[in-house]
Amino acid sequence: MPEKPRKLPRSAGSALKSSGLQLGQAVEWPDRPDQAKLDRVPNPQSDTDYVVRFTAPEFTSLCPVTGQPDFAHLVIDYVPGRWLLESKSLKLFVASFRNHGAFHEDCTVMIGKRIATEIKPKFLRIGGYWYPRGGIPIDVFWQTGRLPKGMWVPEQGVAPYRGRG
């Protein structure tokens, strides 16, 4: 029989709610990336190097020229230091791009830099695999920090765009 999930002690739940985190709170969806708040939480395994991966396969933004939607599959890998990126805040941040007009390169690098600024990881890389518009796919990659020695980071698992041939 599966073990029941651990519940946070009441004091921890209260501390979370008073901590200013969006986790466990009803929050408004941010309209723009600059309105979105990224939350961080202490890394309980900060003495151990490991890789965390977030995948956003349905990322959407707007072309800044035409206003038409652009779609991407984002993969974010990082080796945390003292902080972890809280996933609900990442979801809200990513969703805030839906009405934001920016080029593919700007969106991808902006997301990577914002996360790096907030959590100060030992290593972070983001791959933005943009779906073709106008017949040309654009893939954008950005990273910061050095991968700690001995760490294994799997391939991002997104095949490069390939037409006929």
Query: Is 1 a residue whose pLDDT tops 60?
Result: no
pLDDT of residue 50: 97
Cross-strand pairs, 21 = none
pLDDT of residue 17: 52
Query: Is 16 a residue whose pLDDT tops 80?
Result: no
pLDDT (average), residues 26-39: 92
Q: Which entry of 39, 70, 77, 107 is annotated as an active-site residue?
A: 70
Domains of the chain by residue range: 51-146
pLDDT of residue 157: 87
pLDDT (average), residues 15-42: 85
Query: Is 5 a residue whose pLDDT tops 90?
Result: no
Read off the pTM: 0.85
pLDDT (average), residues 33-58: 96
Domain 51-146 of CATH type 3.40.50.300: no
Q: Is the dihedral of CA 88, 89, 90, 96 positive or negative?
A: positive
User: Is 70 assigned a catalytic role?
Assistant: yes
Q: Which entry of 34, 47, 49, 63 is annotated as an active-site residue?
A: 63
Q: What is the mean pLDDT of the chain?
A: 89
69-123 per-position pLDDT tens digit:
999 999 999 999 999 999 999 999 999 999 999 999 999 999 999 999 999 999 9
Q: Note the Cα 63 to chain centre separation in Å.
A: 20
Q: Note the Cα 7 to chain centre separation in Å.
A: 26
Check if the beta carbon of residue 29 is closer than 8 Å to that of residue 36.
no
